[in-house]
Chains A and B, each alone.
Chain A
Amino acid sequence: MTANPLLDASGVAKNYGAVAALRDASLSVLPGEVHALMGANGAGKSTLVKILTGAISANAGRILIRGEARDIRSPAAARRAGLLPVYQEPSLIPDLDVLSNLRLTGTPVEPFRAWVRELGIPDLDLRETARDIPLAVLRVLDLARALAVEPDVLLLDEMTAALPANLAEKVLDVVRRQGDAGRAVIFISHRFVEISALCDRATVLRDGATVGVVDIKPGVEEKIVELMLGTRVVKTHVAARTAAQKAAPAPARPRIAVRNLRVGTKLNDVSFDLADGEVAGVVALEGQGQDELFAALAGSIKPSGGTIEVDGQPAKFSHPIDAIRAGIAYVPGDRSEALAMQRSVRENIALPFSAALRNWGPIPMRRERATVLSAIQRLQIDTRAQGEVQRLSGGNQQKVTIARWIAADARTILCFDPTRGIDVGTKQEIYLLLRELAGHGKSVLFYTSELEEVQRVCDRVIVIFGGRLVDIFPVEEADEPALMRAAYGLPRGARADVGILADPSANPSDSTSANASDTPEAAP
């Protein structure tokens, strides 16, 4: 192609303190193309998007728009330069009606109306307050609002997520026609089906750098998975794991049996077992329903369907205390959700002891000190700054959140991405600890966003995509390429040319369910 790129970013870097979110990202979008931006969790997609749309500024790099260097310092500057994003979260102000929201951004009303009709919503009342509009429609309005100002480059972040089939189809249709009109679209999606149906090229990010630009053609998905994983494809196989090898014979009944669990629209029909003495991994891309799965098991939210059995007894959790009484403890991914930051390490670890009404009286200080100390020693928490948890390092804070449940002797621990943003040494300690817990007959459900952790820690892997459980791997087969493919909803075992790519007219919004049923369902 000889046309000059509409948008040409190169050498973009962004550091947060010592952490490099982006090292050397580049992205070149030609007029008239729909360009996919891909990468595993944490590869730097969202950072790059934020930089392109002016939400944050880059530390280094050059951004050319229509060949001119532009300094995009704010969302307004990005808008003037012709770059317009539509984010996953609807950006209409909930307390204003649609018309006021349009005025706020200076969006012309008539084109907006036209686009809304085009996108499959014939009867929109502009006077309706944004809060009362269903999420799916809001996302479409967001898109229409962006289309109405005719941007040169439209950035769509997971546009079809949360859309019902008919709307998704219209949206994809409109996006494709944007390309035909000589404008460009940057399309971020986890769904290969949509990408293959829609995009001309894809830029793949890994570890903050652009590792490849590929043309979308049948069979390219294998190449994309390879690029996303990089050299790690050939690396590591199951490290000798003694604890797992002497795993106890399968117990008569599972510790936790989840059957047909459903949470709103986010989680659908998920069934699996968790046995005593095992670490079961959960692998999913961001926002595929794993948050809801953990929250439902922890009693934070009520499932809208299905059952959870604990030790063979059906359980209904209406508050986390119910789950805790059943021996199920939840360690959230965000440490600030779990810790009272201004309180001491000791108080934080001992917090569950005081929860029940009958424990509101005087605290048996000596016994508590002994319990807390043994938990601190077991996790080797650095207690030099134990007066306030907020003065501890991230890794030590994470240890405190786990130590709490070691001290409380929970039988099942739900660990949601416990190693996010902590140093390598502490990560190793946490892996060891989880294995050790399993060795003592506890059960652990372990969600991780870092695929390489799976083989170090887990006995089995549950893969969730689009709110459905799509596969269960034994750890021996769970190498990173296999997991990555599964996490993207690609069927196991298939190579090269997958049916969905050969048939771009397949209804994209049905893809998740179609994929799920294509997948050999592993019997729990």
Chain B
Amino acid sequence: MSSTAITPAPVPLGRRIKRFMADRPLIPLIILLVILVVILQLLRPGIVNERWIANTIKFAIPLAILAGCQTMTMLTGGIDLSVGTVATMSAFIMATQVVNQDPAVAFLLAMMPAVLIGLVNGIGVGVFRVHPLIMTLGTSLIGTGCLQVYQRTVIASGAKIPDFLAWLGTGVTWGFPNALLLYVPLAGLIVFTLARTGFGRLLYAVGDNERATRLSGVRYWQVITALYITSSVLAGITGLLYIGLIKAPSLSLAEPLVLPSVAAAVIGGTSIFGGRGGYTGTIVGALILTVLTTLLTILQMPEGARRILFGLIVLFVTAAYLRIVEDK
């Protein structure tokens, strides 16, 4: 792209745009996000205001954190389908334990199943080489079952949402959702980890060529176990944030977020085959999905039609994005 004035081989505009997009995969995503917001504004003039933006961000954050779990596991060629269950478990345990316990104790109790499920996932995938899809689906079912048993034991004591979580989940300070206080450092940490730490390097390398990492002295199980524990802990934190936002503990609280979290990571440009992608794209992906949901909601379509449209748009966007970004 330098100023090669001597040989003015006219690169067609289309190709140049393509090249540009391929170098900066974030640009087309942001353009898509802006287009969606503009459409929304055109359909309902005046809807896009400060309150709407704060609301959108509030709902996008839990999705974005879970999509972070998917991004990291997908970089190694895996996936973590247990995030929904883990988030639900931590939220439910928090809400029921905080009734009788100190909040700090309740927090520790809430994070315990997250760590445990992450550990089991990690050992299953890293040591016993169970496919991540099956492994995390299995632990997810087991977790749901345990939660149902647990629910019987606390039915009498009831549940409440700690004020702090409600403040974090729904509060807005000077126009900014309080959840950003948690999310901005967290997102920064994920981006930094992936780009600038040895662990992040290994995630990419393991997903790209596991044999090569082995020959370089990497112990696969260590990386994978650490990864799935991290993913689960993030999911647990998401659960706490989400219960503050939704304020109604249930046994399927975060379950509806699981597949959108995978979609957000894929739309954000992370390859499910591993070795390729990043978290910044995922963040925009999560925002796109959230705006899209709003858009479909105000169209006042029947639920079925809305879902069909949602699925079609996700497919179309992913396919189009890959075509744009992949510089073949």
Contact = CB atoms under 8 A, between A and B. Distances in A.
Interface of A: 298, 300, 319-321, 324-325, 330, 332, 336-343, 347, 350-357, 359-363, 365, 404
Q: Which 4 pairs show the lowest CB-CB distances between chains A and B? A: A354-B198, A340-B208, A321-B217, A355-B217
B219 A360 contact: no
B198 A353 contact: yes
Nearest to A334: B211
Contact of A341 (B208, B214, B215): B208
B137 to A, nearest CB: 25
B212 interface: yes
A357 B222 contact: yes
27 contacts: A319-B217, A320-B217, A321-B217, A321-B219, A324-B216, A332-B215, A336-B209, A337-B209, A337-B212, A340-B208, A340-B275, A343-B204, A343-B208, A351-B201, A351-B212, A351-B216, A353-B198, A354-B199, A354-B202, A354-B205, A355-B218, A359-B198, A360-B197, A360-B198, A360-B226, A362-B192, A362-B196
B56 interface: no
Contacts of B204: 340, 342-343, 347
Contacts of A354: 198-199, 201-202, 205, 218
B213 interface: yes
A350 B201 contact: yes
A298 B222 CA distance: 20
A347 B205 contact: yes
Nearest to A355: B217
B180 to A, nearest CB: 24
B201 to A, nearest CB: 5
A361 B205 CA distance: 16
Given A336-B209, A343-B275, A360 B199 contact: yes
Interface string B209-233: 1011111111100100010000000
Contacts of A404: 216
Nearest to B198: A354
B131 interface: no
A452 B184 CA distance: 61
Given A337-B209, A343-B205, A363-B198, 15 more contacts: A319-B214, A320-B214, A321-B217, A321-B219, A330-B215, A340-B275, A341-B208, A342-B275, A350-B201, A351-B216, A351-B218, A355-B216, A360-B202, A361-B197, A362-B196
A363 B201 contact: yes
A347 B222 CA distance: 20
B195 to A, nearest CB: 9
A341 B213 CA distance: 12
B276 interface: yes
Chain B interface mostly helix, strand, loop or mixed? helix
A298 B202 contact: no
A355 B222 CA distance: 10
A338 B205 CA distance: 11
Contacts, number: 89
A342 to B, nearest CB: 5
Nearest to A351: B216
Interface size class of B (residues with CB under 8 A): 20 to 34
A393 to B, nearest CB: 19
Contact of A320 (B192, B202, B215): B215
A352 B216 contact: yes
B208 A342 contact: yes
Contacts of A353: 198
Given A298-B215, A320-B214, A352-B216, A342 B276 contact: yes
B214 to A, nearest CB: 6
A249 B2 CA distance: 56
A320 B216 contact: yes
A353 B218 CA distance: 10
Contacts of B211: 337
Chain A interface mostly helix, strand, loop or mixed? helix
Contacts of B276: 342
Contacts of A359: 198
Contacts of B212: 337-340, 351
Nearest to B218: A355
Nearest to B211: A337
Contacts of A319: 214, 217, 219
B197 A352 contact: no
Contact of B213 (A298, A330, A351): A351
Contacts of A357: 222
A197 B15 CA distance: 66
A393 B217 CA distance: 25
B316 to A, nearest CB: 25
Contacts of B192: 362
A363 B215 contact: no
A355 B219 CA distance: 7
A106 B205 CA distance: 46
Contacts of A321: 217-219
A281 B97 CA distance: 69
Contacts of A355: 202, 213, 216-219
Nearest to A340: B208
A347 B201 contact: yes
Contacts of B205: 340, 343, 347, 351, 354
A324 B214 CA distance: 11
Of B196, B197, B204, B215, chain A has the most CB atoms within 10 Å of the CB of B215
A359 B276 CA distance: 22
Of B196, B204, B209, B276, chain A has the most CB atoms within 10 Å of the CB of B209
A352 B208 CA distance: 15
A351 B223 CA distance: 14
B140 to A, nearest CB: 27
Contacts of B275: 340, 342-343
Contacts of A298: 215
B198 A339 contact: no
Nearest to B209: A340
A211 to B, nearest CB: 38
A331 to B, nearest CB: 9
B213 A363 contact: no
B75 to A, nearest CB: 11
A353 B197 CA distance: 11
Contacts of B202: 354-355, 360
Contacts of B196: 362-363, 365
Contacts of A324: 216-217
B215 A361 contact: no
B199 A352 contact: no
A352 B197 CA distance: 13
A332 B266 CA distance: 34
A523 B211 CA distance: 36
Contacts of B197: 360-363
A359 to B, nearest CB: 5
A336 B212 CA distance: 8
A325 B192 CA distance: 28
Contacts of B208: 340-343
A251 B109 CA distance: 62
A320 B208 CA distance: 18
